[in-house]
Structure 1
Amino acid sequence: MFPPHPVLRRHWLPCALVGALLLALLYGALAPLRTPSQERGFTFPAPPASMAERRAPPLPREVRLTLGVQDVLLLRNLDRKPHVFGPLQLLPGQEFRLPFESAGSFAYACPDVAGGTLLVRVVGLPDPGWDRLRWRLQALASGLRALPLVAPPA
């Protein structure tokens, strides 16, 4: 066996971290996409009970779906009043699944969203490589943005 290179002997921890990062990026670029459900939820929330709930973030103006991964928009109405979504009227407690079969941008009239229109962007399944890695990083960023803000218990 050859003795380890002096740089590797001296800086083994940074080299191991860089190697682990490269392996994680390679896995993210090549691993198949899996999700527990093909549904992506869009919920009309229940009426706020406290002042803290009244400051909840507004409904999003855009929803992104991916064909073959999450290509069904699940509409839920948790409110006590009906809500309009495009040609649909969701009654209180009702759920509706809206499947998408082609990529594109679809605008639906929704008075509860800022601007009155919800844009549903449906993108194709990303190919392995940079496209899939970019898709995973965008999904991570949008998931972090959508995390609810919860105050610590008093």
Structure 2
Amino acid sequence: MKKWFIALFAVLTFSMAAQATIEVYEFENLQQEQQFKELGNTLRCPKCQNNTIADSNAELAQDLRHKVYEMTKQGKSKDEIVDYMIARYGNFVTYNPPFTVATSILWLGPLAVVVLGFGIIVLRSRKTKKAATDEQWDQDKEQRLKALLDEENNGDKQ
């Protein structure tokens, strides 16, 4: 019984090591290999979110690598492969999404907030200046000021 347990343990251990194999892709020419590497480093794994499909070990990333490999072997261009991935997984699959109506808020939102904030600051500062200049300086205020200054100056002399 002990021998069976050790044998089962050894089989399971070696089968786990077989799962951790390195994927090797063979190409017809150097250009295809470079295209595959470039796409692997520019396409994002939809599951991992911040890893490229070349860096990710997720099953989805492995499937995407395999699909990129197949399409590269078929002679598809980089743009055709990226368009296929965008059609299937959306703009999220690229690290640099294109400027569209849907992404315009992400691109223009911060700029709009800065411009709006600066505009509010300018308008409020103009209102404050205008309110200060709108107060009329009349003779009554002038006489009270002189009386206070005379009172203060007389207090210093004594």
The TM-score range, normalised by the shorter chain, is under 0.3
| Larger proportion of helix | 2
Pick the structure with more strand per residue. 1
Of structures 1 and 2, the one scoring higher in RCO (CA 8 A, sep 6+) is 1
Larger Rg: 2
**TM-score scaled to structure 2, two decimals?**
0.23
| TM-score normalised by length of structure 1 | 0.24
